[in-house]
Amino acid sequence: MSDKPSSGEVFGIPYNFERPSISRMLKSYWQPGDGMLVEKPFGIGYTLNLANWRSWVALAVVGALLWNERGGSDDDAVGDEDPVEVVVED
C-alpha cells in the first residue's frame, strides 16, 4: 500500500485531508495578517478569513441577496401583479 500525502496542492489548489482539530480550525478561519481567502482546514480549496474586513462585507452581501431572494419585502413581489393578456396576430 502506498503512502498518499494527506495535504498538498494540485494545479495550484490546496487540499488537506488530515483529521481536523479545534486549534487548527480556529487558526485557519482567523488569520489577521493574511488576505481575504485562506486555505481550508479540511477539504479542497479556500475559505474566508474572518479576521479580514472584506470577508464580513462579502458575507453581508450574500446575506442580503438571500434575504431578498426569499421574499424579504412584499412591496416588490412579482406574484402579486394581475395576469397580462398577450395578443399575437399573424
Q: pLDDT tens digit string along 34-87? A: 999 999 999 999 999 999 999 999 999 999 999 999 987 655 555 567 888 889
Would residue 43 count as lying in a domain?
yes
Q: Which residue has the cell 479540511?
A: 42
Which residues form the domain of 61? 7-75
Give the total number of structural domains in the chain.
Answer: 1
Would residue 82 count as lying in a domain?
no
pLDDT of residue 90: 76
Of 47, 45, 57, nearest in space to 27 by CA: 47
| 8 burial type by CB count under 10 A (0-12 exposed, 13-18 middle, 19+ buried) | exposed
Would residue 90 count as lying in a domain?
no
Would residue 1 count as lying in a domain?
no
